[in-house]
Amino acid sequence: MKEELGGIISGFDPAGMRVMIQALAEANLRDVLALVTVPTLLIWGDKDIRSPLTVAEDLHARISGSRLVVIAGAGHLSHVEAADRFNAELRSFLQSIPK
């Protein structure tokens, strides 16, 4: 899976990637997080350098009723680094949402 992800990323157009990364870096939507009214799951790796756990804690505090799951030993790509745990947490969350 890691090799597959690397292959996908290496195929990105550099100019398009630059625009996307810049837009993400400049966006600040913290003020609208309080408006989120849907079930929200935040899955975070405790070794994430790109977005440290303090970012997750801030999002969790701003999104009412959100659930924060921290995966020990995983970094920014927890869905790849700890796929089994990530998938189990996602399944559990989705099953907990009333139909």
The enclosing domain of 54 has a CATH number of: 3.40.50.1820
Query: Do the beta carbons of residue 75 and residue 46 sit within 8 Å?
Result: no
Query: Do the beta carbons of residue 75 and residue 81 sit within 8 Å?
Result: yes
How buried is 99 (Cβ within 10 angstroms: 0-12 exposed, 13-18 middle, 19+ buried)? exposed
Residue 86's domain comprises 2-96
pLDDT tens-digit map of 31-85: 999 999 999 999 999 999 989 999 999 999 999 999 999 999 999 999 999 999 9
Which pLDDT score is estimated for 11? Answer: 79
Query: Do the beta carbons of residue 4 and residue 79 sit within 8 Å?
Result: no
Q: How confident is the model at residue 20 (pLDDT cuts 50, 70, 90)?
A: confident
Q: How confident is the model at residue 1 (pLDDT cuts 50, 70, 90)?
A: low
Strand runs labelled E in the chain: 41-45, 67-71
* Residues contacting 39, CB < 8 A, separation 6+: 65, 67, 93, 96, 97
